[in-house]
Amino acid sequence: MKYKDNMEAVANLQPNYLGFIFYNKSTRYFDSVIPTLPKSIKKVGVFVNEDMNSVIEMITKFNLQAVQLHGEESPEYCEQLKRQYEESNNEITSPKVTDNHDSIKKSNQIATLEIIKVFSIKDEFNFEVLQPYENHCDYFLFDTKGKLPGGNGYTFNWSVLNSYPSKKPYFLSGGIGINEAEKVKEFIKSPASKYCYALDVNSKFEIEPGLKNIEKLKTFIQEIKT
């Protein structure tokens, strides 16, 4: 997402997440202002092998609730990012000494950061690489292996997910558009979708990089719901 009016129009469709690309080599790179969005929508920052301090800076600047890591970020990176975020958030929200019990109770509710780790698939995948990330990520995301870290515009072989060994929920991504609606519905009925938590759509719904076609999104959502 790059444009304010377009963000608001997409937000009216009530997605669970909205993504913002903070990878400066991307044509979808975001460097603007995020309008006020419904609290039900989580803002996701998308990063590729970014310095951790820069990620924390963007999380704070844009009040992000989740990060999507598209590079070769290690399990240790994921663990440290979440810990550093929680520590910095705790410092910001720590109250002054007070007799107000409600203020103390509220300050103890440290906000958490959702970490979505991306893995690319084409025709096969070694699921053993997921194991070290199990305790450090909230979700996995499976995208199509291509020239770019994401947004390549075509799907991978979803039948690979029949061998998914984990119970961790995952996002399905990679070239999903209106023409894939029937395929998505069939996938949802299959055993491979048991832990599929969300669909991540992007390039197939763009008029240009970062600008979504609202009517296409509406049509897709209606198709999936039926």
Asked if pLDDT for residue 89 goes beyond 90, the answer is no
Sequence-distant (6+) residues with CB within 8 A of 174 are 121, 142, 143, 144, 152, 154, 155, 156
Q: How much of the chain exceeds pLDDT 90, in percent?
A: 79
What pLDDT band is residue 150 in, cutting at 50, 70 and 90? Answer: low
In tens, the pLDDT along 23-78 reads 999 999 999 999 999 999 999 999 999 999 999 999 999 999 999 999 999 999 99
Better-scored residue on pLDDT, 22 or 97 = 22
Domain 4-95+109-225 fold is TIM Barrel (3.20.20)
189-207 tens-digit pLDDT = 999 999 999 999 998 999 9
Cα gap 62→45, rounded to integer Å: 9
For residue 153, what are the CA distances in angstroms to 32, 188, 211? 25, 20, 15
**Mean pLDDT, the chain, as a whole number?**
89
Distance CA 102, CA 159 (A): 51
Contacts of 223 (CB under 8 A, 6+ apart): 178, 181, 182, 185
User: The whole model's pTM is what?
Assistant: 0.88
Q: Which pLDDT band holds residue 109 (cuts at 50, 70, 90)?
A: very low
Model pLDDT, residue 147: 63
Domain locations in the chain as residue ranges: 4-95+109-225
